[in-house]
Structure 1
């Protein structure tokens, strides 16, 4: 314990804001949007048959048994449970992180909320079907990006926001040092 003449103790971490639960609402909205669009795609689209929307965009129902870019999709079935456990552990860790965020770290909160929602959206598919439903097919000049979904878009957006936030914080710290 510091006495009145002692040096000041390091600043305490700002307590989490009560509104941290808002980030879980954002995550739930992402899960809902993902589930609704996947349900729609599964009802309206035919498996692996593209439906042109624009010159660069098709809607193509696909079942992804692997991870991003169909990684390990032909691994024989064990990957379903591996990715289920991995996504569950990561989602729980991110939920704990987002609930402990101080109010001023709203960009991090939004980014984590997007990643959590996307991870849970794909996790629901993996548990329910054994695969993830993808249906967005972006292409150009015969080259197709791997099919993806709303959950994948949220994860990508969240990761990009996390990287931008880290870059901004680094620049801010450098500016303060100079």
Structure 2
């Protein structure tokens, strides 16, 4: 995309989805507040045979990566989240509104990243509370922000394989 193709107004860009990012941050922070206000740390409420609400803290990244490193990882992951969020925000501003799937993907990822960034900077950890499992195997607990990031990443993968740019690449290869 050239500078001439960059939308002149933010309303004509991916930023038209600002409301989605705000809604995700609000939903994420509200659900985390509900868990912290109503559940003791490490408590569990069984809701379905494969799903519990839990109250846990994640001091690391995905799957508690580096959670036992003594505190430096808080600022490391904060810096990474700020850098990635900045890049995604710039990409959203530069993309035309018509790039629907990519814009939704970036908006979901950015909203989720900001939700977890708020926790990490305010608390030093991320509050997780959704626990899915089969038998004794438990998927690592996660939250609304994590869900948005995963859905956004899935949309990006879909766009890469089946979106307009993938179709254009197929036409050019012939």
Q: When the two structures are superposed, what TM-score results if normalisation uses the length of structure 2?
A: 0.90
Following superposition, the deviation at residue 13 of structure 1 comes to 5.3
Q: What corresponds to 1:14 in structure 2?
A: 5
- Structure 2 unpaired stretches of 5+: none
The ranges of structure 1 where at least 4 consecutive aligned residues each deviate by more than 4 angstroms after the TM superposition are: none
Q: What corresponds to 1:96 in structure 2?
A: 90
1:151 aligns with 2:145: yes
Q: When the two structures are superposed, what TM-score results if normalisation uses the length of structure 1?
A: 0.88
State the Cα deviation string for residues 117-148 of structure 1 (Å, max 9, x = none): 00000000000100000000001111000000
Q: What corresponds to 2:124 in structure 1?
A: 130
- Structure 1 unpaired stretches of 5+: 1-10
State the Cα deviation string for residues 58-91 of structure 1 (Å, max 9, x = none): 0000000000000000001000000011101110
More helix by share: 2
Q: Residues of 2 paired with 1:173 and 1:107: CA distance?
A: 17
- Please say if residues 45 and 59 of structure 1, whose CA atoms lie closer than 8 Å, have aligned partners that are also in contact: no
Following superposition, the deviation at residue 171 of structure 1 comes to 4.3
Question: How many residues align structurally?
Answer: 168
Q: What corresponds to 2:162 in structure 1?
A: 168
Following superposition, the deviation at residue 51 of structure 1 comes to 0.5
Pick the aligned partner of 1:72 from 41, 62, 66.
66
